[in-house]
Structure 1
């Protein structure tokens, strides 16, 4: 089994102060931490059992990325939305990217550190260096998952990653919802439409 090899870690931060020509009541911070790693299955052809490397790499990635991202966001209380993504280079499989982020050994560490209890929205794909790293973000609280103000997308790129034999693994977070959010949410829609969560008419 290969030991995790992290080539570099990249931080990304953006603070939105003005949206739609109007100052935000509270600036929105969106941040991400990305690890560029050697694909542990590179050059091995089709590997049936991915679990040993998933276990070894997911823990190491969580140890590196989670505290770093929580710190740059200002602590768990400053995180309201989160997400994740992974991109494997062109010599790997999409399954390699998916394997490293769809495991409790990785996602649960971030969920707990961020003080959340909801699933982490995600993207996983295969692409070349400089590709867009796209993280869908939603509210960290399961009870507020339908809060559309927190339906966000964070996107950035790393010019030299992933190389063909690499994987980029990313965690992202936001300090709040979109500035000036005003489209309601699914719960207000259901009330107006007179339906329950399954779309069935409410009894009169």
Structure 2
């Protein structure tokens, strides 16, 4: 397969000081990096797609490095997620190709994070938005880190493009108070608890 042809990268960043309660001393940040690429499968049905996952691995690593640097280093990152928006001439399966290159790149660069990387994907037109689910990097059951970040690019995806997204945060939800497993109680044995 050909090397992915990137039209643009976009970084979206938020710093959350409060959600109605008192401002916090250390506001968590959440950020997303999006790559708008040409979809090499547009125009006809392709039975074999998996080779493109290998071609996407360097892109996943580059995006992960940029996002980790943006958030202040791997030790600052506590949660993650990934997603894809496929242009109208593509198919949902073209977005699913991001599971391995996007997820494994983040896990590798974050020091072998244990939890599965949650994801979402859809087919959409210009300016389509996607809610990317987020969970703790080492234990999916940490409720304070159940979250999502809405992402999108105003001029993408064009019909022949795909937008691939990675999301990371430096903390859980501000004022989280719904109980459950606390980040301080993670055992780190199975990616769940």
Whether these two folds match at TM > 0.5 is yes
Runs of 4+ aligned residues of structure 1 deviating over 3 Å after TM superposition are none
- Give the equivalent residue in structure 2 for 1:96: 94
Q: Secondary structure at the match of 2:27?
A: strand
1:145 paired residue number? 140
Name the residue aligned to 1:32.
Answer: 32
Whether the aligned pair in 1 keeps the contact of 2:81 and 2:167 (CA below 8 Å) is yes
Where does the alignment leave 5 or more consecutive residues of structure 2 unmatched?
183-191
CA contact (8 A) 2:77 2:168 kept: yes
Cα drift, residue 113 of structure 1 = 0.9
Partner of 1:54: 53
Q: CA deviation at 1:52?
A: 1.9
Q: Per-residue CA shift, 1:134-191, capped at 9, x if unaligned?
A: 21100000xx32111100111132110000000000000010111111110169xxxx
Q: Secondary structure at the match of 1:184?
A: coil
3-state DSSP class of the match of 1:27? coil
Q: Highest CA radius of gyration, 1 or 2?
A: 1
1:173 to 126, 146, 168: 168
RMSD over equivalenced CA pairs, Å: 1.6
- Structure 1-normalised TM-score? 0.84
The answer to whether the Cα contact below 8 Å between 2:82 and 2:102 also exists between their aligned partners in 1 is no
Decide whether the 8 Å contact of 1:128 with 1:164 is kept in 2. yes
> 1:81 maps to what in 2?
79
Which residue number in structure 2 is paired with residue 5 of structure 1?
5
What is the count of residue pairs matched by the alignment?
182
- Partner of residue 120, structure 1: 117
Work out whether 1:158 is the aligned partner of 2:153. Answer: yes
Q: Give CA-to-partner distance per residue, 1:26-45, whole Å, 9 cap, x none.
A: 201000110000001112x1
